[in-house]
Amino acid sequence: MGEGARTRIGPVAVLTVLCLFLGDGWVQAVTVTVTPAEDFVANGNNYNFRCNFALDDSSRDAIADWSFTNRQGATFSDLYKNAGSLGEFFLHGYDSRATFTGNISGGDVGLEVRSLAPADSGTYTCGVSVLGEGKAEASMDVTVLDPPGVPLLSISPNPVRENQGVRLTCAMTSGTPPFTYSFHVGDVTLTSGSATTYDVTSVQRDQTRYTCKVTDVLGDQFAATSLEATLNVHYIDAPQLAPSSPVTGVEGDELTVVCTANANPSATIQWSKDGADQGQGATLTKNPVNREDAGTYTCTATSSGILGSPSSTSAQLQVDVQYPPNGNPNCTVTTTGNDVMLNCEWQGGNPAAEVTWSHSGGQQIGSAQQSANQVVAPVLTHGTVYTCTATTPALRSEPRTCTITIGVPTVTVLPKPTSTVAEGTESRSLSCTVESNVYPPVDVVSWTGPAVSAGRTTGGTLATPDLTIQNVERADAGNYTCSAGNLAGTGSDSLILDVLYAPMDTTVTPASVEEREGDPLTLTCTSDGNPAPTFTWTKQGGGGQLPTGDVVQIQSLTREDAGTYTCTASNGIGNPQAAAGTVDVLYLDTPTINTTSSVTLEEGQSTAIQCSSVANPTASFKWRKDGSGDPEVNNILTLSEVSRDSEGTYTCEASNTIEGALETEEVSVELVVNYPASVTVTSGTVTVDENDDVTLSCTADSKPPPTSFTWTDANGTPLNSQRDGFTLQATIPDITYQQAGSYTCTASNGVGDAGTADIDVIVECKDFM
């Protein structure tokens, strides 16, 4: 079977038997078989046509061919022909589409035809003959179909309420009918048949993914399945509470209850209590829960977009909050003869509290009838504590207690540990509190301290336990003790009075200092005050940020550090106090001159060179030439009508005295003196013979060197010359008597006039006789 084909009628052999009477009187039988008799092929696919034959005498040569008759009745003979030793032939148009896949000698006439189209539908006939005499044939029918296209699946209605019905409709887009339709939910097949619709009578929330599949006679190989269609199933369930109702919480703990409701579209959760809004969201949280939170809560789940009704549902939650008695119990005491009557009262509590009395040793006191809230107890030793304990066993809370203490009074003074006051304050009170629930009652209160001894206090008695100091002085600072006594003994407590005063005796050390630039410097500020003063520094004329603290340290002084440094001491009491120190920084800078390091003059010119140096103390100046000679003591060097002998190196020396030592710094300037050129010759007259070579030589002296250096004849015509520095030579070859005369050497350098020198050349004629 060919690729893309499906057998509609099972493998039926079409058999043709032909008896041939050959010339030699022998009868030859040919059997031809084609399978299947009918087949279907998908448009565009290839197909293998199968044909087999058998001969009684296999030594005979067989000739095989294929022919085709289309649906319009047109027949195409010899679509393919195999003539044995004569070769094979294809009908025009099939030579590129068909391939012989069989083997004639093996009785196989298989043929593959590629890219079949609907026009290729029809009857294909396989024929076999022997020696060209007679033919046995067998035929098959092939239909070329378009396979099903991707179907479109629709669901109506969508969305839908759970347990209601929907209709699935599968629509074809392309393909050759008839079709078989199957409907699926997930991996489950709902139905299969020729119907294009299917009704789901009761949809469930887990049945949301639907597809339809379409097949035709080509079979499952070419089946087409729709895209998955999603059914939106609406539903809402009754809310679930976790933990379930009723819920018991303990006051102070966190109470959390989660309400959830399965719904599509998603439900919103609303909590309420007695009609009052408790917020949205699945979680009801009370953190911490308190007794007012007890009651009935309603969780309402609402799905606003759901089809049909109901769209909301609710569940109720009962909350019980347990809590201990309100606050601690209240202990009171009354006397009854030599004993005391102890009373314990409390308010609230869920469940009700249980109460017991005990004393310091843990021993329970009172009769069973009294132990509820009232007992009679003896007065024991100092420090005996009677305790009322209210407990709620059902709660995890700590027991609530109140106490009655028998014994020496407890005294508390404030402020502790130190009372701070500024000197000169009109009055200052020190608090003394005596424990009120002590038994027996306090009968005396007194104070000790410097101001008490000085007699400048009021109060400090049983009626007025607080002590007031009048017009606070510095001498009032010290320890103050309040004592309270009863028949059981005396209790006391102490504090320290700290008297604050403004800074005083502020000094800067050293008060005046001279230091060399680059040396370190330390200024220290001291001041007396309470609290200890803090220090800030300023410098006259600014000078940048100065540190805070009692010390200013400069690691390497600069001249900018010179000035007056003021230290201000302050402590928030009264007015700040300031002190100053003066810093003088000594230095000597390398001197500078008012010109460049090299000065060029022409002979006869004059100049003045000024030397200056930044120094403290002020510097003095000396000038020397070439490092020797008597110095000129002045900061200005005056050079009048300089000559070439004035040229040289002039050094300015600046000096001052720092910390008793002479300091010096130098700067030099180079004086260059330019002068005009002068020319000399070795002789003013030269006598030569005619036709001799004559060399003229001259030497120039100038600064700078000559820029123009020439020999000229009497007519002013330049001669060819060779220059070597300050020497110039000109050679006259084969001199003639006509060249006799005065020759001039001229040199100039741009300074003054040019210098010249002449040589008279005398040419003597040769005697030809």
Residue 363's contacts (CB-CB under 8 Å, 6 or more residues apart) are none
The pLDDT, as a whole number, for residue 686 is 92
Q: Which residues of 316-335 are buried (b: 16+ CB within 10 A; e: fewer)?
A: ebebebbbbbeeebebebee
Q: Which structure tokens are listed for 275?
A: 């009609």
Residue 142's contacts (CB-CB under 8 Å, 6 or more residues apart) are 5, 38, 39, 40, 41, 47, 116, 120, 121, 122, 123, 124
Please give the Cα distance from 698 to 679 (Å, whole number). Answer: 7
Residue 630's contacts (CB-CB under 8 Å, 6 or more residues apart) are none
User: With contact defined as beta carbons under 8 Å apart, do 136 and 32 qualify?
Assistant: yes
Side by side, the strands of the sheet bearing 160-161 are 160-161, 233-236, 263-264
Strand partners, 15: 33
At 575 the three-state DSSP class reads coil
- CA-based nearest residue to 210, from 147, 152, 266: 152
Q: Which residue has the tokens 């007890």?
A: 294
User: With contact defined as beta carbons under 8 Å apart, do 302 and 315 qualify?
Assistant: no
User: With contact defined as beta carbons under 8 Å apart, do 613 and 588 qualify?
Assistant: yes
All structural domains of the chain, each given as residue ranges with its CATH number in brackets, are 5-145 (2.60.40.10), 152-231 (2.60.40.10), 235-322 (2.60.40.10), 330-406 (2.60.40.10), 411-500 (2.60.40.10), 510-587 (2.60.40.10), 589-673 (2.60.40.10), 682-764 (2.60.40.10)
The number of angstroms, rounded, from the C-alpha of 564 to the middle of its chain's C-alpha atoms is 51
The pLDDT, as a whole number, for residue 402 is 81
Q: Which class for 754: exposed (0-12), middle (13-18), buried (19 or more C-beta within 10 A)?
A: buried
Strand partners, 162: none
At 736 the three-state DSSP class reads coil
The pLDDT, as a whole number, for residue 134 is 73
User: With contact defined as beta carbons under 8 Å apart, do 701 and 737 qualify?
Assistant: no
The parts of the chain modelled with pLDDT lower than 50 are 2-4, 6-27, 367-371, 769
Query: Could you give the C-alpha distances from 574 to 283, 423, 535, 544, 567, in angstroms and in order?
Result: 62, 9, 15, 28, 17
Query: Could you give the C-alpha distances from 191 to 184, 194, 397, 675, in angstroms and in order?
Result: 7, 10, 67, 129
The pLDDT, as a whole number, for residue 17 is 46
Vertex 247 angle, CA 245 and 248, to 5°:
160
Query: Could you give the C-alpha distances from 619 to 99, 633, 654, in angstroms and in order?
Result: 121, 12, 6
Query: Could you give the C-alpha distances from 750 to 20, 700, 703, 729, in angstroms and in order?
Result: 140, 14, 10, 22
DSSP states along 278-344: EEESSEEEETT--GGG-EEEEEEEE-TT-SSS--EEEEEEEEEEEB--SSS-EEEEEEETTEEEEEE
Please give the Cα distance from 211 to 227 (Å, whole number). Answer: 7
Q: What is the pLDDT of residues 34-71, one digit of tens each?
A: 999 899 999 999 999 999 999 877 677 788 999 999 99
Cα diameter, the chain: 188
CA-CA-CA-CA dihedral for 168, 169, 175, 180, to nearest 10: 50
Tell me the pTM.
0.42
State yes or no: cis peptide before 718, omega within 30 of 0.
no
Instruction: Count other Cβ atoms within 10 Å, centred on residue 249.
Output: 22
